[in-house]
């Protein structure tokens, strides 16, 4: 049984790919509330409780770990949260496919590839590094089959809590001004959520992928301004870009915990942020959805919200 943890945009993208392949799917979330197609099971479980985590995974053959605690609580909760998932997967003898981001690398001059050391000095980056290191040790010890798929900031249908989520695309779709983080003239790799989901499923189906880190396919990296200009052009409006720097984030952080937690990660938008996903493409032959096509799908979804 394929079990997907989390019913956010990435979990849903994985689900849609598995359904397209006519694979059985169970989705698990804290609330147990989500809209899923016929044939997909939806169950409720609190993964911060180890017994619930084990019970929810007892019939799993592959576990897609796409869940996380609230962003502002990563430092305290994310490691034990994932430890419970690991325990449940190990008890079931299941393979674990872990969705990750790029926080563990820290500020990188040049492009990010899978062989880079973990050189982060941020709290959330250190959490990510520790989690990744633990997974790799479990594989190396022969304790568990696992693979890590990493994406950059993602966008696409039903993506909300992202730097390029619905708060960015809804104004663009209506011809209104949008707000971007950091310096819009720095290059930034963005991951299309549909590609991320397909890539995780593909990793789960290849034994030689396990025990490794893979950067999922991304379209060619452009500056954030180019990304936004393309979005406005497709929407049929002239670009109207506002920028948000550290001052505005600090002010917003007085009222919104997630904004406060974003401050330490602002370096990703003030410097070039370029992800190399050639390892994945060369091994599996999968390429990313062309940027314009991905943006068009995202804008269509934004109009329906």
DSSP secondary structure of 200-218:
HHHHHT-GGGTTSEEEPP-
pLDDT of 105 reads 98
For residues 160 and 166, the answer to whether their CB atoms sit within 8 Å is yes
pLDDT of 251 reads 47
pLDDT of 2 reads 98
Write the pLDDT tens digit of every residue in 279-289.
999 999 999 99
Write the pLDDT tens digit of every residue in 227-241.
999 999 999 999 999
For residues 30 and 176, the answer to whether their CB atoms sit within 8 Å is no
CATH of the domain at 78: 3.40.50.720
Looking at the fold, whether 205 and 64 belong to one and the same domain comes out as yes
Residue after which a domain boundary falls, among 168, 199, 215: 215
C-alpha 154: how far from chain center: 6
pLDDT of 3 reads 98
Write the pLDDT tens digit of every residue in 45-73.
999 999 999 999 999 999 999 999 998 89
Confidence of residue 8 (pLDDT cuts 50, 70, 90): very high
Per-residue pLDDT at 146 exceeds 90: yes
- State phi, psi for 145 to the nearest 5 degrees: -85, 120
Confidence of residue 302 (pLDDT cuts 50, 70, 90): confident
- Higher pLDDT pick, 200 / 35: 200
CATH of the domain at 232: 3.90.25
Looking at the fold, whether 102 and 27 belong to one and the same domain comes out as yes
Which residues fall within 8 angstroms of residue 131, CB to CB, at 6 or more apart? 78, 79, 82, 98, 100
Per-residue pLDDT at 256 exceeds 60: no
Provide the mean pLDDT of the chain.
Answer: 93
pLDDT of 189 reads 98
Looking at the fold, whether 167 and 295 belong to one and the same domain comes out as yes
For residues 44 and 34, the answer to whether their CB atoms sit within 8 Å is no
Looking at the fold, whether 86 and 207 belong to one and the same domain comes out as yes
Looking at the fold, whether 161 and 117 belong to one and the same domain comes out as no
Looking at the fold, whether 205 and 257 belong to one and the same domain comes out as no
Residue after which a domain boundary falls, among 215, 231, 253: 215
Q: Which domain holds residue 282?
A: 156-189+220-303
Confidence of residue 32 (pLDDT cuts 50, 70, 90): confident
Looking at the fold, whether 226 and 88 belong to one and the same domain comes out as no
Looking at the fold, whether 20 and 68 belong to one and the same domain comes out as yes
Looking at the fold, whether 184 and 127 belong to one and the same domain comes out as no
Per-residue pLDDT at 111 exceeds 80: yes
pLDDT of 255 reads 46
Looking at the fold, whether 202 and 231 belong to one and the same domain comes out as no
How many structural domains compose the chain?
Answer: 2
pLDDT of 221 reads 97
pLDDT of 303 reads 73
pLDDT of 236 reads 97
Model-level pTM?
A: 0.95
Per-residue pLDDT at 254 exceeds 80: no
Poorest-confidence range of 155-164, 249-258, 259-268?
Answer: 249-258
- State phi, psi for 5 to the nearest 5 degrees: -95, 115
pLDDT of 257 reads 62
Q: Which long-range contacts (CB under 8 A, 24 or more apart) does 203-207 make?
A: 203/97, 203/147, 203/149, 204/2, 204/62, 204/64, 204/95, 204/97, 204/147, 206/284
Q: Which of 300, 150, 268, 277 is nearest to 219 (CA)?
A: 277
Write the pLDDT tens digit of every residue in 91-110.
999 999 999 999 999 999 99
Looking at the fold, whether 141 and 162 belong to one and the same domain comes out as no
Looking at the fold, whether 200 and 113 belong to one and the same domain comes out as yes
Residue after which a domain boundary falls, among 215, 249, 264: 215
Write the pLDDT tens digit of every residue in 123-143.
999 999 999 999 999 999 999
- Strand bridging mode 111-112 / 190-192: unpaired
């Amino acid at each position: 049984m394929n079990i997907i943890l989390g019913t956010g945009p990435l979990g849903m993208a994985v689900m849609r790919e598995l359904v397209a392949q006519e694979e059985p799917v169970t989705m698990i979330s804290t609330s147990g509330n989500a809209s899923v197609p016929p044939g997909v099971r939806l169950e409720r479980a609190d993964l911060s409780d180890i017994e619930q985590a084990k019970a929810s995974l007892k019939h799993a053959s592959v576990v897609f770990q796409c869940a996380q605690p609230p962003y502002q609580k990563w430092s305290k909760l994310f490691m034990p949260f994932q430890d419970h998932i690991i325990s449940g997967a190990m008890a079931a003898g299941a393979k674990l496919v872990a969705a990750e981001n790029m926080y563990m690398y820290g500020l990188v001059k040049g492009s990010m590839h899978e062989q880079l050391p973990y050189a982060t000095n941020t709290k959330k980056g250190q959490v990510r590094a520790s989690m990744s290191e633990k997974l790799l040790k479990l594989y190396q010890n022969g304790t568990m089959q696992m693979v890590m798929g990493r994406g950059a900031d993602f966008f696409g249908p039903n993506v909300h809590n992202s730097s390029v989520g619905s708060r960015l695309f809804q104004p663009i779709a209506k011809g209104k001004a949008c707000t971007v983080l950091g310096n819009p003239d720095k290059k930034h790799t963005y991951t299309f959520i549909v590609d991320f989901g397909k890539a995780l499923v593909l990793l789960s189906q290849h034994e030689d992928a396990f025990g490794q880190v893979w950067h999922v396919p991304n379209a060619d990296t452009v500056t954030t301004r180019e990304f936004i200009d393309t979005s406005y052009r497709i929407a049929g409006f002239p670009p109207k870009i506002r920028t948000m720097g550290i001052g505005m984030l600090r002010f917003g952080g007085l009222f919104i915990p997630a904004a406060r937690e974003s401050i330490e990660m602002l370096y990703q938008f003030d410097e070039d942020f370029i992800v190399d996903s050639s390892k994945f493409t060369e091994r599996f032959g999968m390429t990313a959805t062309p940027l314009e096509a991905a943006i068009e799908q995202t804008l269509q979804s934004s109009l329906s919200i």
